[in-house]
Amino acid sequence: MPAAFALAVLASGAAAEPAPGPQDPLTGKKVELRGVEEGLRNLTEEKRKLDQGLERIETERSRLAQVLIEAAAKLRDTEKQTAEIESELQKIDGREETLRASLHARRALIGEVLLVLQRMNRRPPPAVLAEPEDILKALRAAMTMGAVLPQMRGETLKLQNDLSELVQLREAAHNQRAALAHRRDELTLQRANLEQMIEDRRAASRQITSERAAQEERARKLAEQATSIKELIARMEKESEAARLGAQAAREAEARREAADAQASREQRAKALAQPFRDPARLAPAVGFADLKGKLQLPAVGYFVRRFGAQDGYGGVERGDSLQVRENGLVSAPCDGWVAYAGPYRSYGGLLIINAGGGYYVVLAGVARMNVGVGQFVLAGEPVASMGDGSVKTAATVAIGAKQPILYVEIRKDGNSIDPSSWWARSDTRKVGG
């Protein structure tokens, strides 16, 4: 009986427990929805952090850009001053050499004057081979005391003047060489500081390094296929995403600027034209490239050796300007714009093309090292490249026969080369050959 009762209880308990059925589809959807919502929240938070990071990078980019522009301007000034001192020192050395040759040719006259002094026993004469300062002292004493014969007075006075100038030239040369050494030390230090600043900017933008490398490789492959700069620009903007986005940004910026110009007062437009490069935080050109005539700074310190329209030595004419620049000299962007190409290209050497908007492009060829990448927006005066030592021969250096580096600069409008001479600031241009 008890056993039967126990069996009955167990049976009733088993019957009361429901049999397992299929999972509720609604419950699964809710779980899936919660997962999606959680993923969206995570993505939103990641996007917020990314936006903050990009904002910090943009703020740092503006700050570094201004610092780089100021450092590049100081470096350019030092390069100019160094070149001027070197030129002045060459003139001094040349004049000193001329005087030395003249004095050497009049050694017989100098000996005769000293012999007269010796015979008159006014003072012991210095040796004929003495320093110019010693001979000058003897001549001055003789002139003062009237010890020189009247018929020799004219020649003696001329000798005195030449020797005085020679002494002054020696002193000037000494001072100029000291100043040159100081400027060269400054140049070395400023270049090192600038290189460190450029490296800091690269570090701040390290997250896009791999993408830039891919774009540069793409640019290199396109350059191998392109047959001209015009075709190179077209292919870059068609097949390089970074170049395409840069060209699009240039068109959009041009449209916004034209709309703003249409609404701006005459005073506002005049103010913008007077200081087109004032705002270091600008992300697009403040004025159109066509309005910058007479305002562009040369991209490097140097001398024009060939100008637009001159014979190129191959039966044609030059389509741009060629500057002879210092070894390892700095190259700055002459205008605002987006980098359309940065890399080696045929016989041009290192080639940099800047999309200035409005159908204008600035071509810089012959550089050795580039600091910017395709699609990047650069500011006027910002250091974008540097020259080499002239050992790598480009088409420009071969045609000119130059030993120093040659920077080739070309301005293009709607695919055609135009004369750049009216765009350069007058204070920044020099005659051919310096």
Q: Are 137 and 107 in contact (CB under 8 A)?
A: no
**250 touches 376 (CB < 8 A):** no
Find residue 389's DSSP bridge partners.
Answer: none
CATH classification (class only), 209-428: mainly beta
Write down the residue that tokens 């910058």 correspond to: 292
β-pairing verdict for 406-413 and 360-367: antiparallel
Distance CA 169, CA 85 (A): 14
User: Do 386 and 329 meet the contact criterion of CB atoms below 8 Å apart?
Assistant: yes
Residue 409, Cβ density class (10 Å: 0-12 exposed, 13-18 middle, ≥19 buried)? buried
For every residue of 202-222, DSSP letters joined together read HHHTGGGHHHHHHHHHHHHHH
**Alpha helices (H) along 205-335:** 209-225, 229-239, 241-263, 266-274
Please answer whether residues 115 and 128 qualify as being in contact, where contact means their C-beta atoms are separated by less than 8 angstroms.
no
Query: Residue 336 in contact with residue 288, Cβ under 8 Å?
Result: no
With contact defined as beta carbons under 8 Å apart, do 76 and 330 qualify? Answer: yes
Domain map (residue ranges) of the chain: 67-204, 209-428
Residue 332 near residue 386, CB atoms below 8 Å: no
Residue 120: how many CB atoms within 10 A of its CB? Answer: 13
pLDDT in tens, the chain (434 residues): 444 444 343 344 444 444 444 555 555 545 555 555 565 565 556 556 655 665 666 666 677 777 778 878 887 888 888 888 888 878 878 877 887 787 777 676 667 666 665 655 545 555 444 566 666 666 665 554 454 555 556 666 676 677 777 778 778 777 877 877 887 777 777 777 777 777 776 666 655 556 656 666 767 776 777 778 888 988 888 888 889 999 999 999 999 998 988 888 888 888 888 888 888 888 899 899 999 999 999 999 998 999 999 987 777 889 999 999 999 999 999 999 999 999 998 888 999 999 999 999 999 999 999 989 898 999 999 999 999 888 878 878 887 888 889 999 999 999 899 999 999 997 655 444 44
- Stated pTM of the model: 0.63
Tokens linked to 25 = 């589809």
Element (H, E) at 386: strand 383-386
